[in-house]
Amino acid sequence: MTWVYGWPLYNRDAVKIAKKHNLVKDLNPGTLRLIEAAHLWVSKKAGFPLMLCCWVGEDTELVYAAYVDYRERAYPPQKILPEDPGWYRHSDGSWSPWGGELWSETDRNPKDNLNSGIWIKDILAAVADDDDEEVGSGEEDSEEGDDDESDEDTDEESTEGSDDATGSDEDSDVTVTDGVHRIFEGPQSLFWTNYASTSTSPSTIFLFDSSLTSLVEARRSMVPDEYRPANLSDEDVAIVPADVAEVMARGPSIGNGVDWQDLARTIQEHFADRLPCMQHLLHQPVVNAITQLTRMRKQLVISLVPYMHREIVEKQGWFAEFAHRCAVRFAFHLPRAEFTKHERVLHHAVAEALHELYGAYTEVWFGVEEKPAPILQRLLEKWKGQFDSLLEWLDWPMCTKAYLL
């Protein structure tokens, strides 16, 4: 069991930060937009610290992590800094409050030392004492970027305080009573996609090319560890030298700036915990289909909310455009006109993987409205098979952990 020590950014504080620093240029921004802008601003000021989705009660919340304990212990380490909120279970799919017992005590380990890491509370201190300050939104110092407005005031949450652990060594079932809203991981998703793939591109020779038909046929009867260039036929071997010559002729100073390894790593890290967690939820025994679907949608919104732009949802047939935005978000900015033959193959592979990933996500998100319980149960069974097939098809090593299914 992985334990995370960190802090939430509460809605009331996020709105205060956004107004104080004029992070949103609109005169009458929605609360949700203020919260997202503040979240991005705090992340930037803190050097983009690790943010992990953790369990708080029976819900998952986003936590700025100052310390992560990977020692697979049943209970969190001893609280060294009692003035801070406390410990959270990482929502990695290996445990859930409805599938396991909530922890009720801490390990007493004097060697635990949490006096290192990024302390978000220091960044928030500048606005912590300004409860009565009324600062209007302006146009200066905007950190908002390209995020579109969402004025749904129903998304506003005013959380009121948390459990105070100061002076007490007793732990309750839940470390804090309120936490950061799931919407906060949406900007984190945007951070990954906006800042990915900025390194220099290597010269790439890619043998996973459908034009090399002999390798395509060979792979159908092999596992990845058995893939070998020696499976090339004589006809395909004649193609490869020409590709090598083309790459070498470009010279070391010519490139389009795309680091394909970095892009692949970014996409894998983005889904590494989310996919197994969805698979875990789908494999839970169905006692109440509506309740189970609600839990699943809470996980889905983390990945999908960055693409739910207002100008899209107001259009007829907006679902198709929404699904397209999801699928191209990681790679839409790449200079496709400058791609080599093999980079076009890589780009196609990225697009295909994202299409399958977000296709599964969006079908679950939009396929449950106003359905009777028997149909919902059949849909759950269908989606379970789809996510199982998706993880098997992706074959990502970070998604092959042992989960409670």
Three-class secondary structure assignment of 8-63: CCCHHHHHHHHHHCCCCCCCCCCHHHHHHHHHHHHHHHCCCCCEEEEEECCEEEEE
- Identify the weakest region by mean pLDDT among 122-136, 158-172, 350-364, 368-382: 158-172
C-alpha to C-alpha distance for 351 and 267, rounded to whole angstroms: 11
Residue 171 has pLDDT above 50, yes or no: no
Residue 186 has pLDDT above 50, yes or no: no
Count the Cβ atoms, other than its own, within 10 Å of residue 154: 7
Sequence-separated contacts (24+) of 129-134 with Cβ below 8 Å: 130/16, 130/20, 131/16, 133/16, 133/20, 134/19
Q: Confidence band (pLDDT; 50, 70, 90) for 313?
A: low
SS3 state at 86 = strand
Residue 226 has pLDDT above 70, yes or no: yes
Can you tell me the mean pLDDT for 225-252?
Answer: 75
> Which pLDDT value is given to residue 388?
87
> Which pLDDT value is given to residue 37?
79
CA distances to 57, 106, 193, 282 from 73, in Å: 19, 10, 33, 26
Q: Which residue has the higher pLDDT, 15 or 69?
A: 15
> Which pLDDT value is given to residue 358?
80
CA angle in degrees (0–180, nearest 5) for 87-92-96: 75
C-alpha to C-alpha distance for 308 and 327, rounded to whole angstroms: 13
Residue 277 has pLDDT above 60, yes or no: yes
Q: Confidence band (pLDDT; 50, 70, 90) for 85?
A: low
CB 41 within 8 A of CB 34: no
Residue 323 has pLDDT above 80, yes or no: no
> Which pLDDT value is given to residue 200?
40
pLDDT single digits (tens) 112-158: 444 433 344 444 454 444 444 444 444 444 344 444 444 444 333 43
> Which pLDDT value is given to residue 258?
75
For tokens 């969190």, the residue is 76
In sequence order, the 6+-apart residues with CB closer than 8 A to the CB of 182 are 60, 61, 62, 298, 301, 302, 305
Q: Confidence band (pLDDT; 50, 70, 90) for 255?
A: low
Q: Confidence band (pLDDT; 50, 70, 90) for 369?
A: low
Q: What mean pLDDT is reported for the chain?
A: 64
CA distances to 37, 42, 144, 244, 341 from 249, in Å: 46, 46, 42, 9, 14
Residue 63 has pLDDT above 70, yes or no: yes
Can you tell me the mean pLDDT for 4-31?
Answer: 80
Residue 259 has pLDDT above 80, yes or no: no
- Identify the weakest region by mean pLDDT among 48-57, 209-218, 219-228, 286-295: 48-57
> Which pLDDT value is given to residue 251?
62
Q: Confidence band (pLDDT; 50, 70, 90) for 268?
A: confident
> Which pLDDT value is given to residue 173?
31
Residue 352 has pLDDT above 80, yes or no: yes
Q: Which residue has the higher pLDDT, 145 or 366?
A: 366
- pTM, entire model: 0.47
Q: Identify residue 52 by its one-letter amino acid code.
A: L
Please tell me which of 57-66, 132-141, 302-311 the model is most confident about, judged by mean pLDDT. Answer: 57-66
- Identify the weakest region by mean pLDDT among 110-124, 203-217, 290-304, 343-357: 110-124
In sequence order, the 6+-apart residues with CB closer than 8 A to the CB of 140 are 22
What is the number of helices (H) and of strands (E) in the chain?
Answer: 14, 4
Q: Nearest CA to 322 among 333, 332, 335, 309?
A: 309
Q: Which residue has the higher pLDDT, 174 or 164?
A: 164
Can you tell me the mean pLDDT for 299-304?
Answer: 70
Residue 16 has pLDDT above 80, yes or no: yes
- Identify the weakest region by mean pLDDT among 158-172, 208-222, 286-300: 158-172
> Which pLDDT value is given to residue 66?
74
In sequence order, the 6+-apart residues with CB closer than 8 A to the CB of 388 are 279
Residue 346 has pLDDT above 60, yes or no: yes
CA distances to 70, 75, 113, 163 from 172, in Å: 22, 12, 22, 9
C-alpha to C-alpha distance for 53 and 50, rounded to whole angstroms: 10
Q: DSSP states of 292-337 as a string?
A: HHHHHHHHHHHHHGGG--HHHHTSTTHHHHHHHHHHHTTTTTS-GG
Residue 400 has pLDDT above 70, yes or no: no
